[in-house]
Chains A and B, each alone.
Chain A
Amino acid sequence: MQSNRAARRGGLAALAALTALTVITGCSSAGDGNQSGAGDGTGPIEIWAHQGNDAEVAALQATVDSFNSSQSDIEASLRLIPADTYTQTIANTPADKLPDVLDIDSPTLASFVYNQKLSPLSEYVDQTTIDNATPGSIAEGTYDGELYGLAQFDAAIGLLGNRSILEAAGVTIPTSVDEAWTADEFADVLEKVAAVSPSGKAIDLREGGFSGEWGTFAFSPLLYSAGGAILEDGRASGALDSDASIEALTTFASWKPYVASGQDGKAFPSAQVGLLWGGHWLYPNAKAGLGENVVALPLPDLGNGAKADAGSWTWGIGASTQNGKATGVFLDYLLNDDNVNAMVEANGAPPATQSTFADASLYQTGGDLALWGEQLAKACAADAVTDACVSVYRPMTPGYPTITARFGSALAAVYRGADPKTELTNAAQAIDSNFADNNDYK
């Protein structure tokens, strides 16, 4: 009985170990089999996209429908996945089960390339389409010298102000990026605006999302503005935990007494607070609530010029498509002026093709968001930040998921009273340790 039992246990363990090993070796070789094929440019193609707001969904669906009725060779079908779980869904889906065309949250593009989930675009997309992309679109779609993504629209980040409240507070209102409030001025502005705002608070930072992507998207530019950075030569230590970066988050945490909790986003559009740290997608709602009182402002300047993030969703081709030509035809269509204009009309975003951006009245001189348009025109990559550039794209590295998780955690902790130096040092070490564990993602 005893030996019987032992034998059975041993057998079970051996079986399990064998399964585990099969699983490990089986999957490590599975990645090699994904080869995209050009196909003959006809047939069905599948498209996955995140489910944004209703207007965006309608615009995208209209594009797909009109594409299908404009020609008879290719039949495109669209699948929308909730935005909140979209990136996870792509990450969870093996490369050979991904669709022909998919949209990607641009900072995660490098990690999808690393995980062999995307095909380079240049083979399939028309060169004129590529040439028409804005520098920002190329920047956020390029990894390791290869183009993997092209965007319909970019993102503009900045402050939105309520002109009557700001005037009542008696603060100067910046009219260009160069006039951005300094750290001291901004502290003063917050105090004065809070004093005249009906809620007693000055600003909505949308703090509920600090631990998620919003934290990195909205507040990592403060590091650059203070002279710090997230990475320097591929290392977070010495950049993310530098004195300048610590200074930036210390300043950031000092704003808390003036911040409305903002869980439902109503504080700014209903004139309960005078300022909103946000982006283009919040403008339509603010405009509806406040009308001509809405004014676009630069983010505060912590010393090295105001900096703001940029980059949004971009379109790529699945690594295992067997219909590459057809995907190229679709992307050319998706990125033509009509479809880009329809999309930015729906979501208020700055267009990411040169021909449409030139005509985007909202972002050109005289438009409500012209100041944010100016920011986008002065763009640079995260590893080439200068005093003159304003829009800084997030770091293009397969390790981005760990960067954003660590930065978001540190940001949220500092905001709630933790020591900036400790938090940033821990975050920097965790990021570097992750890169080391993964052989620097080479």
Chain B
Amino acid sequence: MTTLNLRPSAVRRRLAAARDYLIMAVVAIIMVAPIYYLIIGSFKPSEEVLNGFGGFLPVNLSFDNYLAAFEALSSDATGYFWRFFFNSFVISFVIVVAGLIVNSMAGYAFARLNWIGRDNVFVLIVLLIIVPFESIAIPLTWLMSGQRDTLFVQMIPFIGNAFSVFLFYTFFLNIPKSLEEAARLDGLGSWGVFLRIVVPNAKPAFATVAILTFLSSWGQFLWPLLMTSDPAVRPLPLQMSVFSGQLPPDWGEVFAFGTLLVLPVLIVFLIFQRFFIQSVAGSALKG
């Protein structure tokens, strides 16, 4: 190869890179524009949110909407903003932690252990992935009617999660068997292998399941709507209708509340984004 041949290809490579950047920039703008719109709108008076391109301009900014959002949820009767926030956090935290424990154990049992009825039970689990929650909500309210208005009732149905079991199962199949077999030769039983060998090698799977579970439990709406009325146990998303339910809605306040709702997830995401994306990417999902 001579230098004469290299040159056009270098040019071509630069052109290709420029094209790639252009595509990515356009997509990035489309992805970020609605988020920017939400955040900038949360600092503006309602009538300037829906205002064509004016909705994008950072003018008339203030914290008024945030103060109003806190103000609207600041008495024993309405419940307190921080209490709703705390409830959501506790509910999500318990579902995530307990879910990691029980679903990883089940995933391992299905992937690696040989027990009676395993394949049949696994078919059941896979089928349950397809059942939408909306279709079982009413019968479930009857089964759980004794636990209305508790944090418990908002956690317990979601700890065992068929999709999480499936993700763990797929991931555990990937872990080289030789590791486990060596450990078994050293005298470890099934529990020992799981705790000492499998779990330490499955951090990406745990991270992925934790993140997916957190996202879905943080945004829960239907189930708490069916099962709670007490502000002491209600989660944050239900209270968004305090602002969006009025006609006409005060869009500034709705956006302020929406920003506060998504902010914890967004901050966690921005700080841990490398870990976040790589764990989603590096996990069982690639199966």
A and B touch in the complex (CB under 8 A): yes
> Is A209 engaged at the interface, CB distance under 8 Å to the other chain?
yes
Q: Which residues of chain A are near B120, meaning CB under 8 Å?
A: 5, 8-9
> Is B181 engaged at the interface, CB distance under 8 Å to the other chain?
no
* Cβ–Cβ contact A82 & B239, under 8 A: yes
Closest residue of chain B to A93 (Cβ to Cβ) is: B229
Q: Which residues of chain A are near B251, meaning CB under 8 Å?
A: 263-264
> Is A48 engaged at the interface, CB distance under 8 Å to the other chain?
yes
Among the interface residues B72, B77, B79, which one has the most CB atoms of the partner chain A within 10 A?
Answer: B77
**How far is A270 from B46 in the complex, measured between Cα atoms in Å?**
13
Closest residue of chain B to A26 (Cβ to Cβ) is: B142
* Cβ–Cβ contact A264 & B241, under 8 A: no
* Cβ–Cβ contact B77 & A214, under 8 A: no
> Is A92 engaged at the interface, CB distance under 8 Å to the other chain?
yes
**How far is A1 from B249 in the complex, measured between Cα atoms in Å?**
62
**How far is A78 from B238 in the complex, measured between Cα atoms in Å?**
18
- Residues 210-251 of chain B, each 1 if its beta carbon lies under 8 Å from chain A, else 0: 000000000000000111011100000011111011111101
Instruction: Please report which residues of chain A, range 167-217, place their CB below 8 angstroms from some CB of chain B when the two chains form the complex.
Output: 206, 208-209, 214
Q: Which residues of chain A are near B142, meaning CB under 8 Å?
A: 23, 26-27
> Is A287 engaged at the interface, CB distance under 8 Å to the other chain?
no
* Cβ–Cβ contact A81 & B229, under 8 A: yes
**How far is A53 from B75 in the complex, measured between Cα atoms in Å?**
14
> Is A354 engaged at the interface, CB distance under 8 Å to the other chain?
no
* Cβ–Cβ contact B238 & A85, under 8 A: yes
**How far is A78 from B240 in the complex, measured between Cα atoms in Å?**
20
Q: Which residues of chain A are near B249, meaning CB under 8 Å?
A: 264
> Is B148 engaged at the interface, CB distance under 8 Å to the other chain?
yes
**How far is A83 from B246 in the complex, measured between Cα atoms in Å?**
8
> Is A265 engaged at the interface, CB distance under 8 Å to the other chain?
yes
> Is A51 engaged at the interface, CB distance under 8 Å to the other chain?
yes
Given the known inter-chain contacts A20-B139, A82-B245, A88-B225, please indicate yes or no for A54 contacting B72, CB distance below 8 A. yes
Q: Which residues of chain A are near B245, meaning CB under 8 Å?
A: 82-85
* Cβ–Cβ contact B241 & A206, under 8 A: no
Q: Which residues of chain B are near A378, meaning CB under 8 Å?
A: none
**How far is A8 from B47 in the complex, measured between Cα atoms in Å?**
62
Q: Which residues of chain A are near B117, meaning CB under 8 Å?
A: 4-5, 8
How many interface contacts (CB-CB < 8 Å) are there between A and B? 96
* Cβ–Cβ contact A263 & B75, under 8 A: no
* Cβ–Cβ contact B241 & A79, under 8 A: no
- Residues 15-31 of chain A, each 1 if its beta carbon lies under 8 Å from chain B, else 0: 00001100100110000
Closest residue of chain B to A64 (Cβ to Cβ) is: B77
Q: Nearest chain B CB to A214's CB is how many angstroms away?
A: 6
Closest residue of chain A to B231 (Cβ to Cβ) is: A79
> Is B95 engaged at the interface, CB distance under 8 Å to the other chain?
no
**How far is A9 from B127 in the complex, measured between Cα atoms in Å?**
14
Among the interface residues B71, B143, B241, B251, which one has the most CB atoms of the partner chain A within 10 A?
Answer: B241
Q: Which of B78, B145, B230, B248 makes the CB contact (< 8 A) with A206?
A: B248
**How far is A80 from B230 in the complex, measured between Cα atoms in Å?**
9
* Cβ–Cβ contact A264 & B229, under 8 A: no
Q: Which residues of chain B are near A80, meaning CB under 8 Å?
A: 75, 77-79, 231
Q: Which residues of chain B are near A54, meaning CB under 8 Å?
A: 71-72
* Cβ–Cβ contact A61 & B242, under 8 A: no
Q: Which of B46, B145, B227, B230 makes the CB contact (< 8 A) with A264?
A: B46
> Is A262 engaged at the interface, CB distance under 8 Å to the other chain?
yes
> Is B266 engaged at the interface, CB distance under 8 Å to the other chain?
no
* Cβ–Cβ contact B139 & A23, under 8 A: yes
Instruction: Please report which residues of chain A, range 34-79, place their CB below 8 angstroms from some CB of chain B when the two chains form the complex.
Output: 48, 51, 53-54, 57, 61, 64, 77-79
Q: Which of B71, B78, B230 makes the CB contact (< 8 A) with A51?
A: B78
* Cβ–Cβ contact A89 & B139, under 8 A: no
Q: Which residues of chain B are near A26, meaning CB under 8 Å?
A: 142
Q: Which residues of chain A are near B77, meaning CB under 8 Å?
A: 57, 61, 64, 77-80
* Cβ–Cβ contact B247 & A92, under 8 A: no
* Cβ–Cβ contact A264 & B50, under 8 A: yes
> Is B49 engaged at the interface, CB distance under 8 Å to the other chain?
yes
Q: Which residues of chain B are near A264, meaning CB under 8 Å?
A: 46-47, 49-50, 248-249, 251
Given the known inter-chain contacts A85-B225, A94-B145, please indicate yes or no for A79 contacting B238, CB distance below 8 A. no
* Cβ–Cβ contact B238 & A82, under 8 A: yes
* Cβ–Cβ contact A48 & B229, under 8 A: yes
* Cβ–Cβ contact A209 & B247, under 8 A: yes
Q: Which residues of chain B are near A97, meaning CB under 8 Å?
A: 148-149
Task: List chain A positions with a Cβ less than 8 A from chain B.
Answer: 4-5, 8-9, 19-20, 23, 26-27, 48, 51, 53-54, 57, 61, 64, 77-85, 88-89, 92-94, 97, 206, 208-209, 214, 262-266, 270
13 contacts between A and B (CB under 8 A): A4-B117, A8-B117, A8-B120, A19-B143, A57-B72, A78-B76, A82-B240, A83-B241, A84-B241, A89-B229, A92-B141, A263-B50, A265-B247
Beyond A4-B117, A89-B229, A266-B248, list 20 extra A-B contacts (CB 8 Å). Answer: A23-B142, A48-B229, A51-B78, A53-B246, A57-B77, A77-B76, A79-B77, A79-B230, A79-B231, A80-B231, A82-B238, A84-B245, A84-B246, A85-B225, A85-B245, A89-B225, A94-B148, A206-B247, A214-B247, A265-B248
Task: List chain B positions with a Cβ less than 8 A from chain A.
Answer: 46-47, 49-50, 71-72, 75-79, 117, 120, 139, 141-143, 145, 148-149, 225-227, 229-231, 238-242, 244-249, 251
Closest A-B pairs by Cβ, 3 of them:
A84-B245, A265-B248, A84-B241
